[in-house]
Structures are given as C-alpha cells and as structure tokens.
Amino acid sequence: MKTKSPPPIIGVSGCRKDIDGYDYDSAPHMFVDALEKACGAVPLIVPTLGAALDRKTLIAHVDGLLFTGSVSNVEPHHYDGPDSVEGTAHDPHRDATTLPLIVEAVEAGVPIFCICRGFQELNVAYGGSLHQRVFEVPGLLDHRSDRTQPMDIRFDLAHEMSLVEDSYFAALAGSTTIMVNSLHGQGIERVGDGLSVQAIAPDGLVEGLTVNGARRFAAGVQWHPEFKVMDNSFSRALFEAFAESAREKAAES
C-alpha cells in the first residue's frame, strides 16, 4: 500500500500586535483557514523577530511561506519613498522579518505566495516602489473597500483583472480575464527587478507578479484570494499550485 505523504508545513508571516499592553505575533485566520482548506497544509506563524530570526533554519524546515495581508503598510524608507501620512499604520518588526526572508526563501527553492501587504513586500524586497495612497494618484481608481459594510460585501468581487497573455496566471486561469475583490490603499508604483507582471487592473495598476527564474512557485497578488477560497476557481487554482510546489519541496527534503 502506498504511504500517504504528510501535509506540507507552511510558514505564515506574523504581524506584531499590542494587545492589552503585551506584544503578540498574529496572523489573520482567513489565511490560515485557506491554507488548511485549499492546500491541506499545516500553517505555522513566523514570529516577527527581525534580524534575530534564524532564517536559514526556518527555510530548511518549512515547505512554503505565505506572506499575508495586514492593516499595516511597509515603511517607505525601504523603497526610498516620502514619509508616510500621519496616522499610517506600520509594523517595522514585520518589515525586518519578511523583506529579507522573501528573497532568501526564493533563492533556497522554498515556494512563496504573497497576498496584499505580502504582495507589496514582494515588490519592495526586489527593489520596487509603492504608491502610498493609490486613491490620490491621478488616473488610478480608489481600490479601498467600505469598512462600514459587512465582510461579505467588503470582500465581494469588485472589478475585472486582465491577465497578461501567455503568462503563468493566464495558463492557470485558462483565461485572460478574471474578477477580483479590492481592499487596498497602497499599490505598485515601480515593479521590482526580476519580477514579471501577471495581472493588471483596469486603471493600469499592476496587481499580480511572479519571480523570474524561481525554482518553485513564487507569486503574489494584490487582491484577496483567501476569502472563500473554495468558491472561486482561480483562487483555488492559485492555492493548489502553491500547495503542489510545497509538496514537491517537502519530498525533496
């Protein structure tokens, strides 16, 4: 009888949170739930230790890494951007952890999947820059959601997304057009070196990237495919491709 392979272990980027005066490392449950449902994976939160994190050991023991969305934004000094508007949420502990980890994981052949803030981290990690307030950039749409609305409305499909012809995403979708949700205030300004554009919003904003020459799955999206992942064929395809790559990495270990 063939032995069933164990589920892949996926590290999930943590966010530093102050709860009642205590620092917590946390991750939105929607992401870990999607990993369990769509990938059959065991998710583990990666603590926000920054330079103190032994990234080499972590990379050796996980089969993939998911970089999640968050209410915080990458600090602009990481991409030589202007100072943030007062009141902008930041998480320097997460920045110090994720930005070097993304590049090192790809170089080591560990699959990565980067979503929303994670997508922006991917771009910055490879030398790209961000629009800090997309809704104030002439010619670009307001991609934010209405926070007063229930979750199902906020995360509902919001606009078309064009997938680059003959791209990895187009092959995965079997189409060059999909519908996505939209819940972000920041976005890609300049695409990082060594990244390929996969998806473009109606206003020209880049919302999907892959890493050129990566040995395994290394992709990011600006939207939120983790929301009701099993109900959306392309969202499910992204997570399943990520999981397949993670299982390949696990089998090699």
Express each pLDDT in 14-31 by its tens digit.
Answer: 999 999 999 999 999 999
Position 2 scores a pLDDT of 57
Predicted TM-score (pTM) of this structure? 0.97
Are 143 and 182 contacting, i.e. CB atoms less than 8 angstroms apart? yes
The catalytic residue positions are 116, 224, 226
Spatial distance between the Cα atoms of 235 and 233, rounded to a whole number of angstroms: 6
Position 5 scores a pLDDT of 83
Residue 162, helix vs strand vs coil: strand
Position 107 scores a pLDDT of 98
Residue bearing tokens 């919302």 = 207
From residue 67, give the alpha-carbon distance in Å to each of 4, 82, 85.
28, 24, 24
Ranges of the chain with pLDDT below 50 = none
